[in-house]
Amino acid sequence: MEQPVREIPDSAAPDVAPGVTYDFMVVSNRLPVDRCVPGVDGNDDSGWRRSPGGLVTALAPMMTKTDGAWVGWHGAPDETVEPFSHGGMDLVPVQLSTDDVELYYEGFSNATLWPLYHDVIAPPEFHRTWWDSYRRVNARFAEAVIACAADGATVWVQDYQLQLVPRMLRKARPDLKIGFFNHIPFPPPEIFAQLPWRRAIIDGLLGADLVGFQRPSDAANFMRSARRFLGASVKRQQVHVKDKDGAVTHLARAQAFPISIDVEQISELAKRPDVIERAQQIRRDMGNPTTILLGVDRLDYTKGIRHRLKAFEELLADGTLDVGDATLIQVASPSRERVEQYRLLREEIEGTVGHINGTYDTLLNTAVRYLHHSYPVEEMVALYLASDVMLVTALRDGMNLVAKEYVTARTGEDGALVLSEFAGAADQLKQALLINPHDIDGLKAAIMTAVNLPKKEATRRMRSMRKQVLDHDVDQWSASFLAALKETVIRDDS
């Protein structure tokens, strides 16, 4: 039997300055800042620096203009941090214990929900202790919002770690305008059905006025699950949410809002002389091969890195590619290294790279340059400029912003993008060479098409993709979501 979601006690309140309230609040698992050493590498003296990423870039300016605050974990367990301001934003830390990180984050969020929502590429684990922690931590995030939100405030909850928060907020503060955005895929009901707490998750999300997804298929999956597991009435993308007596309390709209990137930042970096020189240096350091192929991913089993390596190895084995002419750079940034499946994946990937290089390397050339690091955005743009072919072979991906960054960086309208049809970006970047990463022969053929793509054809494809991304940047994404949220609330009140 599914357990009820924890209620918010009336007395609950985080340690915040009394009387401080906000008209706009963003809620995410992490705050938009990272710890830093003051005075090192240009960091200020606050001990914090703004986190990279499109979400922070999109929402930070808005928060400074709308009396906003950001609620999230500050990144260190078992540490109390008082609310503070940074870069014009008020930040409200939520405290997590070591057990919370293990059970709520590493456990339920990333070993239950993440694999389940990514089509069970890896088997999800279902543990009641993880679920209990997930409910408790979601309640803690909701409590922080409740204590700080002004009357009628807009609250935008982010991602799969906090799916119970919308319902908790609506029950305690029905005056709030509540939006939720899911950054990862939402599975079809046939897969979602495996989750023992499926009703509670759907009910949690239906606390929002607007539930946003990356793709229309994700929104459709959510509405099908609401109908199947809660018996909800769904009409025109709207779920009619009812109370225990059957009366409609509000309409929860489900809609796709494909997220994008900071186009201006990537474009400016791609034109900077030092970044262009760095790209040329990368090619020189690689021995000036005819073709550089590039993969950039978190080290995650959903990214299809193994499929990419297998296809590249077979192209070398059958002589279609030669290590003197083609090199693959694979950036695999560290990810969830305390989770066993991720440790095993790292060992497998590094073993595969070692086997390929041991077989095909020469004294002058390396087949695969494997980089298990995270890099600043300047270095990433240099890599985009240095490479001829971008390989995005995700087995399942909510969007994949790397594909959009690569396209934006190609200001000369050259290069080629090989893109998995299972990445959300495939809905927008239709002029990419779309592939099914499970089809190794098809992937190999697409790679060779990209390698040999005529200049005129490459320009036509890249120009089309660049126009799409430049016209739909991350600012447009956030503005369209919040405009739809406002319209939804007005319509529901009428």
Q: Which residues are catalytic?
A: 183, 397
| 3-state SS, residue 52 | coil
**CA atoms of 470 and 174, how far apart (whole Å):** 38
Asked if 408 and 425 count as a contact pair (C-beta separation under 8 A), the reply is no
Paired with 180 in beta bridges are: 157, 211
| 23, 67 contact by CB (below 8 A) | yes
- CB neighbour list of residue 231: distance below 8 Å, 6 or more residues apart: none
Q: Which residues lie below 8 Å from residue 149, measured CB to CB, with a gap of 6+?
A: 21, 22, 25, 155, 173, 176
Give the sign of the dihedral formed by CA 417, CA 422, CA 426, CA 432.
Answer: positive
**∠ CA 437-360-368, rounded to 5°:** 50
- E strand or H helix at 200: helix 198-205
Place of tokens 């319902």: 167
The beta strand positions in 196-246, using DSSP E, are 210-213, 233-235, 238-242
Integer Cα distance of 83 and 14 in angstroms: 10
Coil vs helix vs strand at 420: strand
Cβ contacts of 122 within 8 Å, gap of 6 or more: 115, 301, 341
User: Sign of torsion, CA 319 322 326 332?
Assistant: positive
3-state secondary structure of 335: coil
Distance separating alpha carbons of residues 293 and 346, to the nearest angstrom: 21
Provide the CB-side half-sphere exposure for 188 (13 A, CA): 4
Q: What is the rounded CA–CA span in Å between residue 489 and residue 209? A: 7
CA nearest neighbour of 252 among 230, 278, 285: 230
The string of DSSP codes covering 7-49 is PPPTT---S--TT--EEEEEEEEE-SEEE--TTSTT--TTSEE
Torsion of CA 454, 460, 463, 468, to 10 degrees: -130
Three-class SS of residue 286? coil
